[in-house]
Amino acid sequence: MAVERPTHSKIISYAKFVISNARPQDMPRMLYSKISGRPEIFRLRDGTLTRNINGPFFMALPYKKRLADEKNLLYEWEVGGRRIFATDMQIGDLIGEYLAPGEFDRIYGSDYAGATVLDIGGFVGDTALYFLENGAKKVVVYEPVPENMLAIGYNLAPFKGKFEVIGKAAGEADGEITLLSASPPGRFAFGDSKSGKFALHATCSSFSTILGKGKFDMAKVDCEGCEVHLLGVQPSMLSSVPQWIIEVHSRENWQKFEEKFSSAGFSLEKKVNMNSDIAIFHFRRLSK
């Protein structure tokens, strides 16, 4: 894999991109973001989102980059000795979480040895990869975005036979669903509670259907708002899984999740605040 060494010519190239595509009011901030190395997300004139990832903070990292799938612009990245398959638009999130030393231990740290894990909202397979690297026996991944499913196949390939990828969304009911995003597939997340001009028509399985199809030791849910439908699941279905890790995307629902899982016989083991509106809740079933 050849080493990619960004140069000042990339700054010039980015400036041309900004002039051609950015909204006038964002141009100074986008250029400052690139030069200063502060990663930010910007909305372009056509309504899509873009992220700056090649500022000095990223140039300083010892990284390698190889094109793995030209059609989908999927790259194999090596950062700090770790590898992941993702697009240019996705690698920023991965650098901040999966590829950041100790960050997934802080967010998801638990004992996965021998566990069968349900992963709702698989993205590019980063959490599934973390679970398998930490001893999970099997991971069942639900992910509705085809481009993300492609990346999952690449990322989990070393664990052949220990994962299953289901190309469906999770939600309130079985059937067809429309997910929205501000950017095309392969960039940022789609969700049933999000807005944007890009639509993804997907097949959806209700949480009750999903839980009824297998026996799981742990469930991780990060599906850009669809987690709210867990609040309507029968307590007996929730308690069939001993441990839940749920990213809740609205502060107004934090208390609702604590109350729901408490009523289903769980204790709140840990809460990780990601920002002022998003938190990850670790619930563990009390002994029966």
Task: Give the chain's domains with CATH numbers.
Answer: 8-96 (no CATH), 103-285 (3.40.50.150)
The Cα–Cα gap between 105 and 125 comes to 16
Decide: pTM greater than 0.85: no
Going residue by residue through the chain, which has 288 residues, state the pLDDT in tens, using 9 for 90 and above. 443 444 455 566 667 767 777 778 777 777 766 665 555 666 667 665 565 554 444 444 567 888 899 888 899 998 777 899 998 878 877 877 898 888 899 999 878 999 999 999 999 999 999 999 999 999 999 999 999 999 999 999 999 999 999 999 999 999 999 998 877 777 777 776 666 788 999 999 999 999 999 999 999 999 989 999 999 999 999 999 999 999 999 999 999 999 999 999 999 999 999 888 999 999 999 976
Degrees, nearest 5: CA angle 275-276-281? 70
- Chain CA centroid to CA 283, Å: 20
Cβ-based neighbour number of residue 29 at 10 Å: 15
The CA–CA distances, whole Å, from 91 to 3, 64, 94, 231, 246 equal 16, 12, 5, 32, 22
Q: How far apart are CA 196 and CA 190, in angstroms?
A: 9
